[in-house]
Amino acid sequence: MTPSDRFCNECHNWPIVRIPGPSVFRFLRGVREQGLLDCAGALWREYGDLFQVRVGWRTLIFAMHPDVVEHVQVTRKERYAKLDSYEPIRKYLIGNGVVASNGELWRRQRKLMAPFYTPKGIQAYADMMIGEGARFVARWDELARSGREVDIAQEMTLVTAAVILKAMFSSETIDSINQMKDAVETMLDYINARLVRPQLPSWVPTAMNRKYNATRRMVHHSITSLIEQRRALAESEWPDDLLSRMMKARDEETGEGMTALLLRDESLTTFFAGYETTARTMTFAWYALATNPRVRARLHDELDRVLGGRAPTIDALKQLPYTLQVIKEVLRLYPAAPFYPRDAVVADTLGRYDVPAGASVMMSPYYTHRHPEFWRDPEVFDPDRWTREREAARHRYAFHPFAAGQRTCIGNNFSLLESHILLAALAQRFAPALREGYAPRWEMRGTLTLPGGLPMIVRPRAVAAAA
Ligand code: HEM
């Protein structure tokens, strides 16, 4: 048996066995003491690439091997869907938007929206992203002059929230970026609290429920009135943003567009899915650059040579491959979504292992990306892993920061373009330095997080003139 046959169903005829794993008590104690991320890492070292735990009526199967990523999301994708695991997100956050829907609804919505996010489709947003990069350079000029410490995670959230709001609504007028950002945080905290321990139903007027319900009403009202304002204009006057594209999209077969409810859910979905993940990626890029001086020097060298102090352009990005390699390496070592689940619709097997119907298979980019069979010195931050040859030689599913198969992140091109532009614009002018003695603690809180933020001082750097 070769390592890659391990989870192949057709390769052997062994008796089917139960996936090994710890008791629920041990698992919950581990999560309480170490956090989910470190606890899963410790269990991986103990049990190997596949282990399971029963929590109440749910079976959680942690899967670290790329063959399982392929099996669940590609070769046997019809056996898995987004069922119970996604219920809290569906119910409390984004309704039936494309992240959480299934079946025909998902297929139709994904098909309607896919053209907005192709490499060509996202070019429409490049100038806006470049503009936001320039605005942020001006903001950081001020910060650099003040010399005061800032939370880089907050800074990156501000810029990515501005980008997604402009891409969706052509403006930040959904009352203001900060209001929307705070609303998202309130709603995310709410579902995180519900996931951690049972809570009273949302209609019971506890302080937490009241805050959540008021925030949700505000967000729904803001989006619905934006849609109504748009409808009040002649279609020829609609700006070319994601909302207009969604409102114009028609099903090829039926000629039908999206209902008002779906438009609201898809707008919410795009906002929730589209800014925090990119903000995290950019935040972790600053951490990686501050702690890897050689990589930083090479990045600066590329930026100085190609841009020489000028703002990046779409054409210039093609000459900035190392900048993109840095971003891919950030996505490998610090994937914004360290875990994401898929629920077994029917009973299945992974090689000789039993997957009961209803079990949730936890895909783990964070650990697949550190798997020693596929990554040499996995803890080392090395953007040279991302040369074309080395990428081609690797297991196709050893890297899945955007998930895999038909439910791959629809916004992956968008976020790579955005990160490429922002990193080029900011890193050529600034080299943020970490607070002396800062030691990161990585945690999974919905997304990969540095609790307490990332304290840094934004330092200016001298730009060498372009050759
Ligand atoms: C670095 C940035 C990003 C990362 C790491 C990321 C990661 C992911 C992952 C892991 C999934 C699968 C989630 C799951 O199945 O539960 C996903 C799905 C999705 N993402 Fe992203 N994402 C990013 C940026 C974006 C952006 C910018 C947008 C929109 C503009 C977006 C929109 C979506 C949507 C709509 C889905 C659902 C796709 C489907 O199920 O058909 N994402 N993303």
**Containing domain of residue 105, as a range?**
3-457
421 CA distance to ligand 1 middle (Å): 19
Q: What number does the ligand 1 atom closest to the CA of 340 have? A: 16
| Beta carbon of 99 within 6 Å of any ligand 1 atom | yes
Is residue 467 a part of any domain in this protein?
Answer: no
109 CA distance to ligand 1 middle (Å): 14
Task: Indicate the DSSP class of residue 53.
Answer: E
| Nearest alpha carbon to residue 165 among 179, 151, 146 | 179
Q: Whose CA is nearest to atom 20 of ligand 1?
A: 409
pTM: 0.94
Q: What number does the ligand 1 atom closest to the CA of 414 have? A: 27
| Beta carbon of 273 within 6 Å of any ligand 1 atom | yes
Round to whole Å and give the CA distance between 114 and 112: 6
How many domains, in total, are found in the chain? 1
SS3 50: strand
| Contacts (Cβ under 8 Å, ≥6 apart) of 294 | none
Is residue 462 a part of any domain in this protein?
Answer: no
> Between the CA of residue 108 and those of 23, 52, 99, 243, 259, what are the distances in Å?
41, 34, 13, 17, 13
| Beta carbon of 37 within 6 Å of any ligand 1 atom | no
Q: What number does the ligand 1 atom closest to the CA of 341 have? A: 16
Q: Would you state the structure tokens that stand for residue 13, as one six-digit string?
A: 């005829």
Q: Whose CA is nearest to atom 7 of ligand 1?
A: 402
pLDDT tens series, the chain, 467 aa: 444 567 766 666 678 889 999 999 999 999 999 999 999 999 999 999 999 999 988 999 999 999 999 999 999 999 999 999 999 889 988 899 999 999 999 999 999 999 999 999 999 999 999 999 999 999 999 999 999 999 999 999 999 999 998 999 887 654 556 677 788 788 888 887 777 666 777 887 888 889 989 999 988 888 888 899 899 999 999 999 999 999 999 998 899 999 999 999 999 899 889 889 999 999 999 999 999 999 999 999 999 999 999 999 999 999 999 999 999 999 999 999 999 999 999 999 998 899 999 999 999 999 999 999 999 999 999 999 999 999 999 999 999 999 999 999 999 999 999 999 999 999 999 999 999 999 999 999 889 999 999 999 999 997 655 54
Is residue 367 a part of any domain in this protein?
Answer: yes
Ligand 1 mutation target, pool 74, 160, 276, 409, most atoms within 8 A of CB: 409
Q: Would you state the structure tokens that stand for residue 127, as one six-digit string?
A: 């100038």
Longest dimension (CA), the chain: 68
What pLDDT score was predicted for residue 465? 54
Is residue 423 a part of any domain in this protein?
Answer: yes
| Beta carbon of 277 within 6 Å of any ligand 1 atom | yes
What pLDDT score was predicted for residue 222? 84
Round to whole Å and give the CA distance between 36 and 54: 15
DSSP alpha helices (H): ranges in 176-259? Answer: 177-196, 207-232, 242-248
| Beta carbon of 401 within 6 Å of any ligand 1 atom | yes
The residue behind tokens 């020097």 is 297
| Contacts (Cβ under 8 Å, ≥6 apart) of 218 | 179, 183
What pLDDT score was predicted for residue 334? 98
Residue 400: CATH number of its domain: 1.10.630.10
Round to whole Å and give the CA distance between 333 and 353: 29
What pLDDT score was predicted for residue 453? 95
2 CA distance to ligand 1 middle (Å): 33
Round to whole Å and give the CA distance between 323 and 399: 18
278 CA distance to ligand 1 middle (Å): 10
Is residue 104 a part of any domain in this protein?
Answer: yes
Q: What number does the ligand 1 atom closest to the CA of 335 have? A: 5
Hey, which residues does 455 pair with through a beta bridge?
151
| Beta carbon of 81 within 6 Å of any ligand 1 atom | no
232 CA distance to ligand 1 middle (Å): 31
Round to whole Å and give the CA distance between 365 and 340: 8
Any idea how long the chain is? 467
What pLDDT score was predicted for residue 134? 96
Q: φ, ψ for residue 385 (rounded to 5)?
A: -65, -15
Q: φ, ψ for residue 93 (rounded to 5)?
A: -125, -65
